[in-house]
Structure 1
Amino acid sequence: MKHIKIYFILVTVALCFACNKVLDIDAGKYIILEEDYYKTEEQLNAALRGAYATLADGSLFGNNLLGRMGLEADEGYESYSSDLNTVGDYNVYATDSKILGYYRVFYRGINRANLLLESVDDPTITITAKERNHIKGQALFLRGYFHFMLANKFGGVPLMLKATRSDAVKTEDLQKPRTALKDVYAAVLNDLKSAVDLLKPMSEVNTGTQASKSAAWAMLARVSLYMAGQPLNDASKYAEAAEWAKKVKDANYHALNPSYEKVFVNYATDVMDPKESIFEVDFYGNGTGIYASTGGMVGRNNGIAYPLDSSNVGYGIGAIRSTSYLYNLYTTGDTRRDWAIAPYYYTGTPRVKTNWTAQQTTFARYSGKFRRESEILLPKSSASTPQNYPLMRYSDVLLMYAEALNEMPGGDKVLALEQINVVRRRAIPVGSPDRELTVTDYTGLKDAIIEERARELCFEGLRKNDLVRWGIFTSSMQSLNNQVPIGTSSYIISARAYYGNAKPRDVVWPIPTYEMTVNRLLTQNVGW
């Protein structure tokens, strides 16, 4: 029998995915198996939990990706002293620990998915065909998504489609050259397309914490748009993006939550909203007892600053502040503005909620989407929160559909406009002259999409990649640098550093120095 490696992740993942979230499991089982092969359905599901756990890691959405890695671009900036002179303020080095963590944890997740894929078809495992297919589909989805998240930050990366086993690894086995970006994306598309045929529909999955056909279709649309934009500029992918986004619509299951605010309150209160939230990262508990390691930092990092005290408001570091550019994008009456950008802050002793005045710069305001005040689980932990984090929402699918229709040859521009207006109607009151746009020319629609994605999806970790694929990252960052107000406040100094440090080379991150010492076939990105 092959050697079996067992990683004891005490309670962490087992409980994180309880309560009809990723998988229904026995909370008393505390291990994730990462072995040469799996022999039971229970072991397959344990391995699947291990693959999902990648997303909740502190190097990813469990901490660092929540406002600490410069992904907000023109919509907001990091103002957190602990991250000065790091990727968080575009003072980037190949030795940055957060970049290394990102790289290594996603590859660890890829290996977990590969280990599962190499066992799931074993005919000796007693399992129904439907459940076997769904497990396999989820593993393919995750492997594709993990490769995608590496490629859109580093460019071409080593493509890993076979598992690596630590007890069998030789030095030469670690030498893997970078795969061309277009080939990495082609492999991602292949994994996601294969997953579509195996996954259950969202109407059966009924949660955004588990991959579904809708999640795979939506991610195929996103990957296609990235391939259509810079640096690949494969314009043929716009039509494919439109096709995949349309499949999500044609499922006749998804719809926008009538309340924009409620979308994010649901994340804070563990209410599943699969019609709107197609794929999300799962966190659970209040950091106490058996839930000590199942939470994340959504709202703690990327919410409103609040000091550590005995109240139940919830500790927050306030790492992300907005920009005047984002604030001014919203029309009067757009309900998204004062939810996405908090109109108040806390001050005094004891702390009281104080509204920002019109005279105070909008560069000072905190991201308000993920509010710890919304949490209902008490007591509130200073180290972790139970809030889930969105990776794909239905409004994103509608805006991707609009973009693809506008860009593809012969695309229906009236239909593209309608997708934008569906998103706007939720947020802007009936009777407002700005509720619906009327532009149907290519340039007008393109500008509308660029702005609408900021209004709707700000602080969800997508903006930098959007600016990069549109080819306007550098110019947008330079423009914001010119808008930073004069002053000596710490947040102004942070904003000036964030936008002043950004350079054309920052469209990608450097390959981590540590990885280049281990894998001598790696080459560094241009400019690094």
Structure 2
Amino acid sequence: MKRLINILLLAGCMFSSCKKFLQTSPEDFVTPDNYYKTEADLQRALNGVYNRLIDNYGRMYSRGLYSFFAISDEFFYKNITINHLKVMDFDAGQLDVGKLWEVAYQGIDRANLLLENVDRPEMDETKRNAIKGEALFLRAYYYYILVNNYGSVPLKLVSTKSPTDPYLPGSPIADIYNRIVADMQEAEGLVSDISGFTNNERISKTAVQAILARVFLKMAGEPLKDASRYEDALTYANKVITSNKHSLHPDYKQIFINHSANLYDLQECLWEIGMYGDQQGIQLAGAVGIENGLECPDDNIGYSGGALHVTARIFNMFDSADLRRDWAIAPYKYVVSNGVTSKSFYTDAQIYERTVGKWRREYETAATKNRVYNSTNFPVIRYADVLLMKAEAENEVHQGPTPEAYEAINKVRRRGYGKPVDVPDPAVDLAGLGQEEFLAAVQDERARELCFEGMRKHDLIRWGLFITNMKSLVGDIDATAPSAYKYAANAAKNTTARNIWLPIPTTELTVNHLMKQNPNW
């Protein structure tokens, strides 16, 4: 989407050597001493903090965080069988593992540099506070990505001044989370209200609150298992809900059509990663609906190889009357015959042939569609997620589901079945469950509602279920997959206890001897 956050060409050359631009000698050089003098300077610097969420090589939200870094029991990669990250067969030297680390720390360093200089210009204090709040939040969010994927990492809270700056050891995971919370809570009081925005690509107050609820639920689960954080998660989910700034879109599929059509929905989607262009000169594009799209060979409709195929496990989690199933999971692919492109619908038996279907390129509005990149935004957090977090936290805090917990999950379910979200419906609504039964219902509902949005793996990890679910997936696939798709179990077969974390990259261990490798890598 076209975003308020434009390209920053500043930060990459500030403190590292850069190739000559047009082979001329520079007449000026951007340093903290001659930059950060105006509000515009601060805004450009903030743009540079944001744009690491869309790195050029697809490790962040342009591709990796919802695809090859998010492999769980919901999808597998077509025709990839051995020796690949996409089947969980890799080591600490794998390029993408190192690049994710590198890009996240680039974002952190840019945030640190901005925070160190945010008070320099003369400007409106409300606008300065908003910039400071967004930078604080983004620094914390990059750390959330790091600690969620790698575990203990260096907690660096000052910008890099010199290549000889001392290296840092990995901080305790609890310390990293405590800093994430502190930064986000400070940001909550500084950032702008979403009602002041025309899009949801900037961090707003309710976006901070929603992500804090997610962080607290993670702290309540593995590996910290701090059960007191369920109360905090409930508090922050309730802040979003009682703000009355957000609501469920009445039509589930329209959420994702809007993404593909470059339309904003500030009610359902609290925060989206803003993509722009198609990587033809402007490098803020992504691959939403391409990497994880339905198969289509026609460039006019929108090419996708249909790389991400679904498992029977996720397909069978849906009731046949649940409208989300045949939107999230493609019921058809495009085929070309005699020069004519048409839809070819899958049979009931063709489950493993199906691909992810949430973002469909047929709804893109670009006159010419690139095969590899597009401008479709990715939703980091939606209001449905907030309701499901509330339901889970209510159940844990009160040691059983409350009426509020039931209402939160049932709103999501009603929407899924095409029912009015505020009207009780005994045919759809849950009732009469114990604490463990309700948790299991929330876990399944999150799988249905949020599938293929990069959440499933990390949900399973915080619930302590990732390894057991992957191991049981092997048997499921052996029992249900056609012979041509038995390889779909390879990622699950290769998953061991070490895969709770990514390995600390070899590139980091080589230069930072204070870092220790994660277990069994």
Q: Is TM more than 0.5 here? A: yes
SS in 1 for 2:237: helix
Q: Aligned match of 2:343 in 318, 343, 353?
A: 353
CA–CA separation in structure 2 for the residues paired with 1:32 and 1:138 = 18
**Map of 2:284 onto structure 1:** 294
CA–CA separation in structure 2 for the residues paired with 1:346 and 1:242 = 44
CA–CA separation in structure 2 for the residues paired with 1:222 and 1:520 = 33
SS in 1 for 2:407: helix
**Map of 1:118 onto structure 2:** 116
Return the letter of the residue paired with 2:163: V
Return the letter of the residue paired with 2:62: G
> Contact 1:67–1:78 at 8 Å: present in 2 too?
no
CA–CA separation in structure 2 for the residues paired with 1:447 and 1:30 = 45
> Contact 1:303–1:368 at 8 Å: present in 2 too?
yes
Return the letter of the residue paired with 1:473: F
The worse-fitting range, judged by mean Cα deviation, of 458-467 and 297-306 is 297-306
Which structure 1 residue ranges, 5 or more long, are not aligned? 1-15
Which structure 2 residue ranges, 5 or more long, are not aligned? 15-30
Offset, 1:295: 1.8
Aligned residue runs from structure 1 range 98-113, under 5 A = 98-113=96-111
Return the letter of the residue paired with 1:246: N
CA–CA separation in structure 2 for the residues paired with 1:454 and 1:504 = 22
**Map of 1:373 onto structure 2:** 362
CA–CA separation in structure 1 for the residues paired with 2:40 and 2:398 = 49
**Map of 2:159 onto structure 1:** 163
Return the letter of the residue paired with 2:170: R
Aligned residue runs from structure 1 range 333-348, under 5 A = 333-348=321-336
Offset, 1:481: 1.0
Q: Say if 2:382 is the partner of 1:393.
A: yes
SS in 1 for 2:291: coil
> Contact 1:264–1:369 at 8 Å: present in 2 too?
yes
**Map of 2:214 onto structure 1:** 222
Aligned residue runs from structure 1 range 205-284, under 5 A = 205-284=197-276
> Contact 2:8–2:47 at 8 Å: present in 1 too?
no
Q: Say if 2:49 is the partner of 1:51.
A: yes
The worse-fitting range, judged by mean Cα deviation, of 53-62 and 517-526 is 53-62
The worse-fitting range, judged by mean Cα deviation, of 216-225 and 434-443 is 434-443
Return the letter of the residue paired with 1:386: S
Offset, 1:358: 1.2
CA distances 1:155-180 after superposition (whole Å, capped 9, x unpaired): 11110111113xx221xx24210000
> Contact 2:401–2:438 at 8 Å: present in 1 too?
no
Offset, 1:383: 2.2
CA distances 1:119-144 after superposition (whole Å, capped 9, x unpaired): 1022xx12101100000000001000
**Map of 1:523 onto structure 2:** 516
SS in 1 for 2:73: helix
> Contact 1:227–1:237 at 8 Å: present in 2 too?
yes
SS in 2 for 1:284: coil
SS in 2 for 1:152: helix
Return the letter of the residue paired with 2:346: W
Offset, 1:335: 1.0
CA–CA separation in structure 2 for the residues paired with 1:378 and 1:342 = 24
> Contact 2:352–2:481 at 8 Å: present in 1 too?
no
CA–CA separation in structure 2 for the residues paired with 1:208 and 1:87 = 32
CA–CA separation in structure 1 for the residues paired with 2:82 and 2:366 = 33
CA–CA separation in structure 1 for the residues paired with 2:427 and 2:519 = 44
**Map of 2:312 onto structure 1:** 324
CA–CA separation in structure 2 for the residues paired with 1:390 and 1:378 = 24
SS in 2 for 1:524: coil
**Map of 2:61 onto structure 1:** 61
SS in 2 for 1:353: strand
> Contact 2:213–2:236 at 8 Å: present in 1 too?
yes
Q: Say if 2:468 is the partner of 1:475.
A: yes
CA distances 1:476-513 after superposition (whole Å, capped 9, x unpaired): 11111111145442x432x1211111112111111011
> Contact 1:208–1:278 at 8 Å: present in 2 too?
yes
> Contact 1:174–1:518 at 8 Å: present in 2 too?
no
CA–CA separation in structure 2 for the residues paired with 1:96 and 1:515 = 12
**Map of 1:194 onto structure 2:** 186
CA–CA separation in structure 1 for the residues paired with 2:365 and 2:515 = 47
The worse-fitting range, judged by mean Cα deviation, of 321-330 and 34-43 is 34-43
> Contact 1:63–1:297 at 8 Å: present in 2 too?
yes
Return the letter of the residue paired with 2:307: A
Give the direction of change, closer, same or farther, for the CA distance of 1:399–1:206 in structure 2 (3 Å limit).
farther
CA–CA separation in structure 1 for the residues paired with 2:142 and 2:278 = 28
> Contact 1:66–1:297 at 8 Å: present in 2 too?
no
Give the direction of change, closer, same or farther, for the CA distance of 1:47–1:116 in structure 2 (3 Å limit).
same
Offset, 1:109: 0.4
CA distances 1:455-474 after superposition (whole Å, capped 9, x unpaired): 00000001101000000111
CA–CA separation in structure 1 for the residues paired with 2:279 and 2:173 = 40
Return the letter of the residue paired with 1:325: R
> Contact 2:391–2:408 at 8 Å: present in 1 too?
yes
Offset, 1:342: 0.3
Offset, 1:114: 0.5
Q: Aligned match of 1:132 in 128, 133, 142?
A: 128
- In the superposition, the TM-score normalised over structure 2's length comes to 0.90
SS in 2 for 1:321: strand
CA distances 1:428-475 after superposition (whole Å, capped 9, x unpaired): 144976421113420121011000001000000011010000001111
Give the direction of change, closer, same or farther, for the CA distance of 1:318–1:192 in structure 2 (3 Å limit).
same
Q: Say if 2:173 is the partner of 1:181.
A: yes
SS in 1 for 2:381: strand
CA distances 1:281-306 after superposition (whole Å, capped 9, x unpaired): 11122455x5x433211111011122
Offset, 1:354: 0.8
CA–CA separation in structure 1 for the residues paired with 2:513 and 2:418 = 58
**Map of 2:413 onto structure 1:** 424
CA–CA separation in structure 2 for the residues paired with 1:202 and 1:298 = 24
Q: Say if 2:503 is the partner of 1:504.
A: no
SS in 2 for 1:523: coil
CA–CA separation in structure 1 for the residues paired with 2:96 and 2:224 = 26
CA–CA separation in structure 1 for the residues paired with 2:506 and 2:67 = 23
SS in 2 for 1:363: coil
CA–CA separation in structure 1 for the residues paired with 2:166 and 2:321 = 56
> Contact 2:414–2:425 at 8 Å: present in 1 too?
no
Return the letter of the residue paired with 2:38: T
Aligned pairs, how many? 491
**Map of 2:27 onto structure 1:** none
CA–CA separation in structure 2 for the residues paired with 1:279 and 1:453 = 18
Q: Percent identity?
A: 39
CA distances 1:407-445 after superposition (whole Å, capped 9, x unpaired): 124676221111000111112144976421113420121
**Map of 1:31 onto structure 2:** 9
